Chain A
């Protein structure tokens, strides 16, 4: 099922919000893992990736402000959690390194694939911004894939933990890409050169290619590509928020992002 395609401007706006919201939360989680990874070098990399995600959020918010007169400055923004269009995998603190690696490998890659579909499109505000973002994202992908390979070649317990986290991330990202055809207007109009269904297929193939047993993360071969062993039910898909589940990011996480506890120190 796809529903009626929405007009180009509305689809562009909601895609930009989804990218910005997800990058904000991804940046939060990378920042959260500045301390605690299995190696100090990985903490430095996580901190650095956090800065880049926040930078991308700021850039995307600038486009939303200029092109759509929409202000979602994360520090001033007071939207409730259920107004965020972020990938559900990032709703709660990532409790283990396996979850951080899954976010890095699956969620970050999904955003890069979505951005890359605008690179050769005719929506200039984003097409111009994408190459620099993707240049930075290349290191995020290398970091993720490096860690997936390290864990895959290691002991059973970390490998199983990663498989569980990857499976959850893959389902949430599959939902983010939406039912087939929901974005056809944006592709047909020339803003994007690949639709979400194609991007979802590329993401599944990329992750499956890293793993000895893709079935362990809920993926199976289908024709030339990969699909979820247990398909998603699109009946409750929220097109604006690009997700199946209700709810949203943890209020505590949003309070930290906004500096709620320290608002008294803000200059008047």
Chain B
């Protein structure tokens, strides 16, 4: 299993109405396992909602950015 697995971004909000926050990233071979991993790894809060999205599905809306979501935060 040496192949590089896709990166998923994890978003959540603690209570309904709170802003959705980006809470982390993870690697998974597909969306099914990404859902399981996200709920297991980022379990420090009693989240009202949690969402995962493949990083390469997130596109920039900023006119000066052509790339997909930034990786400058040091995440994989």
Contact = CB atoms under 8 A, between A and B. Distances in A.
Q: Real complex partners, A and B?
A: yes
Interface of A: 38-39, 41-42, 44-45, 48, 139, 142-143, 145-147, 149-150
A44 B60 CA distance: 31
Given A48-B40, A143-B33, 6 more contacts: A39-B27, A41-B28, A45-B40, A139-B36, A142-B32, A147-B33
B35 to A, nearest CB: 7
Nearest to B37: A41
Q: How large is the interface on B (under 10, 10 to 19, 20 to 34, 35 or more residues)?
A: 10 to 19
Contact of A41 (B26, B30, B32, B43): B26
A150 B39 contact: no
Given A38-B1, A39-B5, A44 B32 contact: no
Given A41-B26, A41-B27, A41-B28, A146 B33 contact: yes
Given A41-B26, A41-B27, A150 B33 contact: yes
A149 B32 contact: yes
B66 interface: no
Interface majority SS (helix, strand, loop, mixed), chain A? helix
Contacts of B41: 41, 44
A69 B70 CA distance: 60
A264 to B, nearest CB: 35
Given A38-B1, A41-B26, A41-B27, A139 B33 contact: no
Contact of B36 (A38, A142, A149): A142
A119 B19 CA distance: 37
A42 B38 CA distance: 11
